[in-house]
Structure formats: structure tokens, C-alpha cells
């Protein structure tokens, strides 16, 4: 597995972010994407050792396109020079939450977990209600020593506790959140040894699992909005 080839291609795409260059280098794109899918397959197998719910998907079902939607963006660059995938029981859908990876050169890669999407109001309400009612379990997860050593809960948040929740609630700060996720940064050098990266990523995702499990219990019954 040539993980360096992924970074090399993405660095070149970042420096030549236009359609002419992209289409002239389809062979390089295909080769780098194949390496990323191989990485996802190996990572999925490692995760499957402690979370069998993720097994059964093809890597290409879990990855996101490089093409950007620029309709509502000031940045009109046509491509996002990053390989991304979300590994969960339902593939790359944001719910149920799973294990996220972004490979982006310039030390911008990271491993993630939790609910990144804050546009689903029903999902936000379900998680808030669950935290409000199951705060002790939440604290046991996010304040566990191994968890705190590697992660801190992130997410878009309101300035104040939303209406309907006690301002003095023990988890008041977390009730302000509209999304709840984790990010663990990975430097480019972390991909040099593919086997070492896979071992580290699997261990980090294992530590994330209780956090993901908690959110998925909160989101039980959530239905993705239909377009």
C-alpha cells in the first residue's frame, strides 16, 4: 500500500486546482484513489474487530467525491484536494455516526467520530434530550482518562442553553451544542508507514466507539430528511 502516493496526488491537485489539470491527470487520480480505497478496506477490517456493524460495505460506498459544490461558496475551486470516507453501519450517511477519515496534505489530515452535521434539527434535539436525561453516562465517556488524553468534544454551539433545558443542568455546556464530534490530527509523516498508521487509527477509533455508541443510542429512530 503506497500511502505516500495519495498525499503526492492531492498536493499536486491543490497546486493545480482546475478542471483542465484534473482531466489531464486521470491516471494519477485513479491510482491514488485505488490506494485510498485499499486503505479504507484495511481500516474497515481493523474496526470490524471491535465493531462488526461496519462490515459488509465496499470502500467506494464509503468515500466522498473530490468535486466541490461551489454554488453557494465564495471559493470557486472546483475540487477539494482531500480523500474522505465515513465508515458506519449505514455507510457514509451522517447518521448513524461512525468513523471518519480525511487525508489532506499539509498536515491537515484527521480521524474523526460523532455527529458532524448540525443542519438536522431533529438529530440535534434527540441528542440534547438524551444528554439531558443520561448525563451521568455522558460524563463517564467524555471524562474517561483515555478519552480525555486523545480527544475533546467539538461542534457548533449556541451562546446560551436553549429553551426547554435548565441553565444549571450539569451538562449545560454540552446542551448548547448543535453537533458533537471528535477530531484527532494526523501529520503527513503519519502516513509514511501504512501498517503503523492502520494500527494507530484502529486504536483511536476503538477509543471513540463508546462516544459513537452513545450518540447512536440518542439517534435511534432518526430518519434522514427526504429531498
Reported pTM: 0.94
DSSP the chain: --HHHHHHHHHHHHHT-SHHHHHHTHHHHHHHHHHHHHHHHHHHHHHHTT-GGGTT--GGGTB--SB---TT-S---SB---EEEEESTTTTSSSS--EEEEE-TTTTEEEEEEE-----HHHHHHHHHHHHHSHHHHHHHHTSHHHHHH---B--B-SSPPTTS-TT-TTHHHHTBS-EEEEEEE-GGGGSSHHHHHHHHHHHHHHHHHHHHHHHHHTTT--PPP-
Q: Looking at residues 187-194, what average pLDDT do you find?
A: 93
pLDDT value for 129 = 97
Q: Looking at residues 160-177, what average pLDDT do you find?
A: 96
Question: What would the pLDDT profile of 52-90 be if each residue is shown by its tens digit?
Answer: 999 999 999 999 999 988 777 788 899 999 999 999 999
The domain locations on the chain are 3-218
Question: What would the pLDDT profile of 102-155 be if each residue is shown by its tens digit?
Answer: 999 999 999 999 999 899 999 999 999 999 999 999 999 999 999 999 999 999
pLDDT at 28 over 80: yes
pLDDT class of 225 with cuts at 50, 70, 90: confident
pLDDT value for 226 = 78
Amino acid at each position: 500500500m503506497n500511502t505516500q502516493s495519495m498525499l503526492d496526488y492531492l498536493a499536486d491537485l491543490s497546486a493545480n486546482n482546475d478542471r483542465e489539470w484534473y482531466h489531464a491527470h486521470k491516471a494519477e487520480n485513479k491510482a491514488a484513489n485505488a490506494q485510498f480505497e485499499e486503505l479504507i478496506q484495511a481500516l474497515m477490517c481493523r474496526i470490524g474487530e471491535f465493531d462488526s456493524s461496519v462490515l459488509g460495505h465496499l470502500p467506494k460506498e464509503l468515500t466522498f467525491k473530490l468535486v466541490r459544490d461551489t454554488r453557494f461558496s465564495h471559493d470557486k475551486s472546483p475540487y477539494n484536494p482531500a480523500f474522505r470516507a465515513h465508515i458506519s453501519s449505514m455507510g457514509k450517511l451522517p447518521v448513524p455516526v461512525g468513523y471518519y477519515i480525511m487525508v489532506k496534505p499539509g498536515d491537515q489530515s484527521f480521524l474523526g467520530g460523532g455527529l458532524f452535521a448540525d443542519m438536522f434539527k431533529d438529530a440535534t434535539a434527540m441528542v440534547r434530550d438524551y444528554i439531558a436525561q443520561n448525563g451521568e453516562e455522558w460524563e463517564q465517556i467524555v471524562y474517561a482518562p483515555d478519552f480525555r488524553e486523545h480527544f475533546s468534544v467539538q461542534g457548533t454551539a449556541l451562546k446560551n442553553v436553549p429553551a426547554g433545558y435548565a441553565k444549571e443542568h450539569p451538562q449545560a455546556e454540552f446542551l448548547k451544542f448543535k453537533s458533537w464530534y471528535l477530531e484527532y490530527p494526523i501529520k503527513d509523516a503519519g502516513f509514511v508507514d501504512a501498517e503503523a498508521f492502520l494500527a494507530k487509527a484502529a486504536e483511536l477509533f476503538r477509543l471513540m466507539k463508546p462516544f459513537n455508541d452513545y450518540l447512536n443510542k440518542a439517534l435511534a429512530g432518526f430518519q434522514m430528511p427526504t429531498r
